[in-house]
Amino acid sequence: MSTSTSETAPEQVAPQPADVARLREELIRELRELKAIVTPEVERAVRTVPRHLFIPEIPVEEAYAAERHYVTKKDEGGVSISSVSAARIQAMMLEQAEIRPGMRILEIGSGGLNAAMLAELVGESGEVTSIDIDQDVIDRAARLLPAAGYDTVILRCADGEFGVPDHAPFDRIIVTVCARDLPPAWNDQLAEGGRLVVPLRMRGLTRSVAFERNHDQLTDRGYELCGFVPMQGAGEQRERLIPLHGDDVQLRLDDDQQIDADGLRAALSMPRREAWSGTTVGKNNSRFDGLYLWMAMRLPDFGLLAATKAAVDRGLVARSWGLGVPTLLDGDSFAYLTFRATSEAREQFEFGAYGHGPHADMTVEKLASVIRSWDGTSLSARISAFSAGTPDELLPPDALVLARRHTRIAITWPSSSPPASTARQA
């Protein structure tokens, strides 16, 4: 189903060692500042692995840029399906995994660069198995890894949904592709007490969650904001895209909810209503991800409203954040998150809601009240995964429960005390 459309560029002239050394140290400094590198072990792995040898298509400066990822393949629809991940995301996930020498690691989603850092972290007494569903990606890794001096990584073309039973158990499973579910093989092939680090999509929001195996339950040990290409194969479950104004304004839906698409399309042409929450953040506070997750948990019918720059310029919708903004779907009306500066100095910003539709006045108020109920923190939600057959009474009370084919994902927010009746199934 996929076509190779890499961002082709001629292979670069070999860089000077002094340039590489300088770029590497600058990268490490930046990753430390971003708190993507925390431990000396991960710092050493980032320092040792020559990144530029794994992305020969781009200039060496870009290979050592903290946020630069490199797309190696897109599908026919133009969706990126394979890439070399950005240095910040790789380092952050390596920290989440807490890898020690001698461990056995499974990486799902290959390419070579991250596998090389995993090999550095486990050392000669450990073992790294790296798999990809795409033979082209495995071929690339098989070419680049030995060329960079890494010839012990076990490479295999396989669907990560089923893990690699003949190399299990693993102390760590690192998934480097966006998953919506946690297939049984991951839990079964993880050693007791082992860690699974996985970019998990919950109501359209992706967080890299570090889970620890405790018998049949996976309990989170923290999570971080991230973005990844979608899973292919047996576990593929892409979002639905609902056009509200051609491809310029779209709703991204991750749940199976029924929506009034015609009503919402008509709503967009109705006058805009607004409500303001009184909840503010400083201009340097970029950690809105806690608010996003809070809204995803508290809004009964949740979607992400995404718009092109052209649509924003034409005033169809207010500014949009990349992949979309949290949106309350309310029958034939909807309201989405927005913000405004509270003074001319633009030091503080207040969150609010813009809405459209026949009863948008009420919808914006509902959204504003959910913003008001946020405690302002980013990372205090707890995410646990239970097998699909787990009865309600064994799930945490007051959880938002996301029902998947293999798992029930329960999200709770310990600092809140919602009434028990708010436990919902999505």
Ligand X SMILES: C[S@@+](CC[C@H](N)C(=O)[O-])C[C@H]1O[C@@H](n2cnc3c(N)ncnc32)[C@H](O)[C@@H]1O
List of residues contacting ligand X (CB under 6 A): 81-85, 108-114, 131-134, 137, 159-161, 176-177, 228-229, 231-233, 235
> Which position among 83, 85, 320, 333 bears the catalytic label?
85
Selection from 377, 406, 416, 413 nearest residue 198 by Cα: 406
* Contact (Cβ atoms closer than 8 angstroms) between residue 353 and residue 259: no
**Which residues does 387 contact at the CB level (< 8 Å), separation at least 6?**
184, 187, 216, 406, 407, 408
Select 66 or 371, whichever has its Cβ closest to ligand X. Answer: 66
* Contact (Cβ atoms closer than 8 angstroms) between residue 123 and residue 110: no
Residue 6 a catalytic site member = no
* Contact (Cβ atoms closer than 8 angstroms) between residue 72 and residue 6: yes
* Contact (Cβ atoms closer than 8 angstroms) between residue 382 and residue 352: no
Select 84 or 244, whichever has its Cβ closest to ligand X. Answer: 84
What token pair was written down for 336? 């989405």
Type and span of the H or E element at 190: strand 190-202
No. of helices (H) and no. of strands (E), the chain: 11, 21
Neighbours of 85 (CB within 10 A): 24
Select 134 or 239, whichever has its Cβ closest to ligand X. Answer: 134
If 0-12 CB within 10 Å is exposed, 13-18 middle and 19+ buried, where does residue 191 land? middle
CA gap 404, 390 in Å, rounded: 12
Q: Would you call the peptide bond into 17 cis, given omega within 30 degrees of 0 as the criterion? A: no
CA gap 102, 122 in Å, rounded: 5
Residue number of the CB closest to ligand X reads 109
User: What positions carry a catalytic annotation?
Assistant: 85
